Structure 1
């Protein structure tokens, strides 16, 4: 199971971190379909996110899983342990009622992020099961979408 984490650095701060959650196949960024997603790796994105969070006076706790239940568990953890959630749920964006329901139980900002413009892709990607419970949605702007999502979370705190 591919996971990456900055939990230790996030726990050093007295403020709650922003959970930056990435779903299935995002561990393959930089390798998988670079014509759609580019050559930036997930590690590159996490470095970018931590730097942007620091510039905004926030901390970021970055995690990735290919498993729906683990994403749900992390969203549940965010209820007490995070000040906001940035979620790129990958394919689960279009299919997961479980992630929708977990997000609906949050009382913190949730920003849905997609690197590609899902509306320029296959029709099954045009519907998100999680957008209706997100504070906002950013898609099609590449990896800068994560930075914009951090700014959005900060503005909602």
Structure 2
């Protein structure tokens, strides 16, 4: 199996995982999730970078950088930007890299405004409601032989 390069993007407020609404988002911290993903990638011979920002422009710029610094796949939890960001959607479309959309909580079991995603229709898959396991499932799918 050839080595893959994967970028994981975490959107706003995910830096507060572990303390923010653990009933919805679980008790693992962002560092816990990133460490587990990095260890999985290292063990499997893949390269993985994790990036988090609360700023839409920083996420757009990071995605645009993939025009030069290509990766094989993207795992993104756009968080609150899921429901608002045409800019992030357009950036992902522009770089034309396959991606999986991940949400820790089941967005469809929450408020109505969380039910719409600007990303789901262009993603290769969407994982919602599995907590941190959603990231790991996305990684396993992307890296399957």
Q: String of CA shifts for 1:8-57, please: whole Å, max 9, x gaps.
A: xxxxxxx6631100010000000110111111000000001111222332
Shift of 1:119: 0.5
1:143 aligns with 2:132: yes
Structure 2 residue 92 is matched with structure 1 residue 98: no
Report the counterpart of residue 85 of structure 1 in structure 2.
74
Q: Whole-Å Cα distance in 2 between the matches of residues 26 and 103 of structure 1? A: 20
Deviation per residue, 1:73-113 (Å, 9 max, x gap): 11111233211110001000111000111111233220100
Kindly indicate whether residue 39 of structure 2 is the aligned counterpart of residue 65 of structure 1.
no
State the partner residue of 1:4.
none
Contact 1:113 1:137 in 2 (8 A): yes
Q: Is the 8 A contact 1:103 1:134 kept in 2?
A: no
> Does the CA contact (< 8 Å) of 1:109 and 1:153 recur in 2?
no
Q: For the Cα contact (< 8 Å) 2:79–2:103, is it kept in 1? A: yes
User: Which residue of 62, 77, 80 corresponds with 1:74?
Assistant: 62
- Normalised by the size of structure 2, how large is the TM-score? 0.91
Query: SS of the residue aligned with 2:68?
Result: helix
Q: Is the Cα–Cα contact under 8 Å of residues 19 and 78 in structure 1 kept in the other structure?
A: no
Distance 1:154 1:79 in 2: 21
Task: Quote the RMSD (CA, aligned, Å).
Answer: 1.5
Aligned equivalent of 2:25: 37
Count residues with an aligned counterpart: 142
Structure 1, gaps ≥5 residues long? 1-14
Query: Structure 2: which 5+ residue stretches go unaligned?
Result: none
Task: Give the secondary structure class of the aligned counterpart of 1:86.
Answer: strand
Render the CA deviation track for 1:106-156: whole Å, top value 9, x for unaligned.
33220100011101000111110111221111111110111111122224x
